[in-house]
Structure 1
């Protein structure tokens, strides 16, 4: 069971993919690799810029492959890097039974016809523009045929014109979809919220499908999740939840119609910029420091994707600086093993997506580390528990500031200071400040027993204006506790 570098070169879609794959051939990028010679398969988890690794697998005989990354190149750089590592040193791949996510792929895929070992004379005679042995020296631009400056200028202008035309066509479709959505909301309000609640699933699903057709995919996903959000509330709060959500979505649609280039509105309507676009943008916000994972939110969406939100806090800042790493992956791959679990530290840069209030970002130039007591002050009770910085302003003021900048924002992360958790006679949980200056309704249906009654030095919540989802706390006795 082996594969040659020349075969990998032929599989690569272009020279740029080979260049990118070579940069991933580092042991630190692959926390897990394995092989099963009985099924001719290898696999690995590649740690990318997000909080969780990409799951990559390949068949070294018929060259089938799969990766959970969002790349549109096939095979992607992760598959090429996996095969490349195996070609260089198969001994690094531990022989074992395929894990569940690999076994699931093996069971689903269709085997291609056996490939002959004889070379394809026709393809061998064709000059290749890819060279796996010169990945540092050759780029796609250098590999293309030479053109005169006039020809290159014409090609560049033609490409820019095509992109502009495609953007205009896409925006026209989105505009029509948003106007259709606004009319749909008017119809729901005219006929009444009570009848809508009875048919909430079908009504939202139908409108979401129309938004997908209009290329407003992110807005469609949010509308599709409205039934789960509203019907999961107590009956008395369901109508208010629907009205609030529809109001925010109307504000979002109006913001896009007023300025389609607004980064906050565009990212919430259609897809956000990819990482390469963010890095190439002028004045991109980047924060370096020691970050700790202080909470995760994982749920399966109605469209079959798993949403995995990882919340980081910069430990060396005087006030809370919070970053959101948002990943999506198919439910078919199962729950990922977190590369950065709650309580763990990473040192590096968080690059933020353009926004009036930057929060979502991705990691770059980072390494996993242990807590540094010099950089991260610790509590007197537990020398391994680093104190989280608290949010600089009061909760209501912080929330109103966010809503004034991005009125359709769903989540407001916040770090509370010292307090306690109490339960009332109805079983409802509340967070109470130690100085009795504030009490906050906790939306969690259940909480770990160790957080009840104990003094909590910090609490990390997601506030929606009415109640808080408690993700984690810091206790003098128990350290960081996931809620």
Structure 2
């Protein structure tokens, strides 16, 4: 339960926003003016927000999710009204009284959510209806045959590309890769299709593109060969190959209950799907886990967790060598303020950690790492994080440099060492969250 008087900070609320527009619009609604009948209990916040119509919007937030319900037509989660209500509540100025009883419209939604969660727990305890194992085996074999046919065709196309040289790839544009990716979609290998589409952007990425294209083609060839020879691989590595190919696998590891600190949350999107990546750190286990949430058709993913708060929850891991992904299971309390932060390592240790992880998953782009006592410093037109106590540094990725994160990090540091969580890979380091020296309150950088 959320204790009375313990409320999230404005930064933690704004970190829930699905985009910059929602963050700005929600900030304008974080004042008492448009709100009426607002209140909060141990697990929820609710209120009526005046809109353009004759009836105010009914907005309620379940703090244990968090989850959101609003009568507005927005397709975003949370919408600007939910963000504004949480900002008003976080101010703790009396505008959202604590210890109140929710009105019927809010109480009914909250009760329905509790009922569905209880039904899900009951069904999980009883076990799912038994499936036909023989039918499942036949479906898996048919799909494996299609993937094998696609991987074999892709090997021929890669051989043709290398035989003819890389120069024609610059003139072919996206058409060459899109057609090949479509063939992999037909073969039910979405992981291969996604990697192929990424190849199309490399010839236009600037100087040195042939080397980068050759590197990615080599990794694609390695994945192809891993699939075609999967029966010779150790099972953990074979599971990683299946995952990289795009074959679905359930989270089948043991449920692990812990106090999970929400380290970072950010979205990436393509034409069809928005993917939200949420990094969690277990206070007792010391493990860093990745939870993914998806939104299709222009909708934002529904799962949104406040950065810097702690969840008392269960996570279940997915199969695969070095796999950090997990499924978020039952949550036992509302997110609460953290009294700790993850331990950090040096920049040299971070690079070594990525190198070790590559032995288990050669296609790994990056690993989650917390850097301790680093200082952001410019390096010509680039930025880097330098160890305050050692003569070593990590360059920031191009993605990081295109965001406001480096400047926010510089303002937070002021030249003093900070602790930074992010993703470390062969392209450098992407900072996602930071803590000032000696503080436990996280500052989101993305």
For normalisation by structure 2, the TM-score amounts to 0.66
Q: 1:250 aligns with which of 221, 225, 228?
A: 221
Q: 1:439 aligns with which of 393, 408, 418?
A: 393
Provide the secondary structure at the position in 1 that maps to 2:442.
Answer: strand
2 CA distance for matches of 1:54 and 1:410? 33
Q: 1:91 aligns with which of 104, 119, 125?
A: 104
1:414 pairs with 2:427: no
Q: Find the counterpart in structure 2 of residue 339 from structure 1.
A: 304
**Residues 52 and 337, structure 1, Cα contact 8 Å, conserved in 2:** no
**Residues 454 and 475, structure 1, Cα contact 8 Å, conserved in 2:** no
Q: Find the counterpart in structure 2 of residue 299 from structure 1.
A: 268
Q: Find the counterpart in structure 1 of residue 342 from structure 2.
A: 388
2 CA distance for matches of 1:245 and 1:170? 25
1:364 pairs with 2:329: yes
Higher RCO by CA contacts (8 Å cutoff, separation 6 or greater)? 2
Q: 2:294 aligns with which of 318, 325, 328?
A: 328
Q: What is the alpha-carbon root mean square deviation over aligned residues?
A: 4.3
Structure whose CA Rg is larger: 1
For residues 312-338 of structure 1, give each alpha carbon's deviation from its aligned partner in whole angstroms, at most 9, with x where no partner exists: 112345xx52111112211422x4576
Distance 1:226 1:29, change over 3 A: farther
Distance 1:218 1:43, change over 3 A: farther
Give unmatched runs, 5+ long, in structure 1.
1-26, 60-65, 69-88, 96-131, 143-151, 279-283, 374-385
1 CA distance for matches of 2:218 and 2:68? 37
Q: Find the counterpart in structure 2 of residue 86 from structure 1.
A: none
Q: Find the counterpart in structure 2 of residue 482 from structure 1.
A: 444
Q: 1:271 aligns with which of 247, 266, 271?
A: 247
Shift in Å, 1:418? 0.9
Shift in Å, 1:215? 0.6
Q: Find the counterpart in structure 2 of residue 472 from structure 1.
A: 433
**Residues 225 and 301, structure 1, Cα contact 8 Å, conserved in 2:** no
Shift in Å, 1:47? 9.3
**Residues 430 and 442, structure 1, Cα contact 8 Å, conserved in 2:** yes
Provide the secondary structure at the position in 1 that maps to 2:434.
Answer: strand
Q: 1:209 aligns with which of 169, 175, 182?
A: 182
2 CA distance for matches of 1:254 and 1:34? 58
Give aligned pairs, total. Answer: 349
Provide the secondary structure at the position in 1 that maps to 2:305.
Answer: coil
Q: Find the counterpart in structure 1 of residue 133 from structure 2.
A: 160
The within-5 A match list for 1:44-443 is 91-93=104-106, 159-228=132-201, 230=202, 233=205, 235-259=206-230, 262-275=238-251, 278=252, 284-302=253-271, 304-317=272-285, 320-333=286-299, 335-336=300-301, 339-366=304-331, 367-373=333-339, 386-390=340-344, 394-424=349-379, 426-443=380-397
Shift in Å, 1:33? 11
Distance 1:299 1:231, change over 3 A: farther
**Residues 300 and 331, structure 1, Cα contact 8 Å, conserved in 2:** no
Shift in Å, 1:218? 2.5
2 CA distance for matches of 1:456 and 1:232? 37
1:460 pairs with 2:421: yes
Give unmatched runs, 5+ long, in structure 2.
1-40, 78-101, 109-115
2 CA distance for matches of 1:300 and 1:441? 25
2 CA distance for matches of 1:358 and 1:298? 20
Distance 1:328 1:243, change over 3 A: farther
1 CA distance for matches of 2:60 and 2:198? 32
Shift in Å, 1:169? 1.0
1 CA distance for matches of 2:166 and 2:305? 42
**Residues 59 and 71, structure 2, Cα contact 8 Å, conserved in 1:** yes
Provide the secondary structure at the position in 1 that maps to 2:207.
Answer: helix
Distance 1:198 1:474, change over 3 A: farther
Distance 1:465 1:56, change over 3 A: same
Provide the secondary structure at the position in 2 that maps to 1:307.
Answer: strand
Provide the secondary structure at the position in 2 that maps to 1:394.
Answer: helix
Shift in Å, 1:454? 2.7
Provide the secondary structure at the position in 1 that maps to 2:223.
Answer: helix
For normalisation by structure 1, the TM-score amounts to 0.61
Shift in Å, 1:30? 8.7
Distance 1:166 1:47, change over 3 A: farther
2 CA distance for matches of 1:231 and 1:405? 29
Shift in Å, 1:232? 8.0
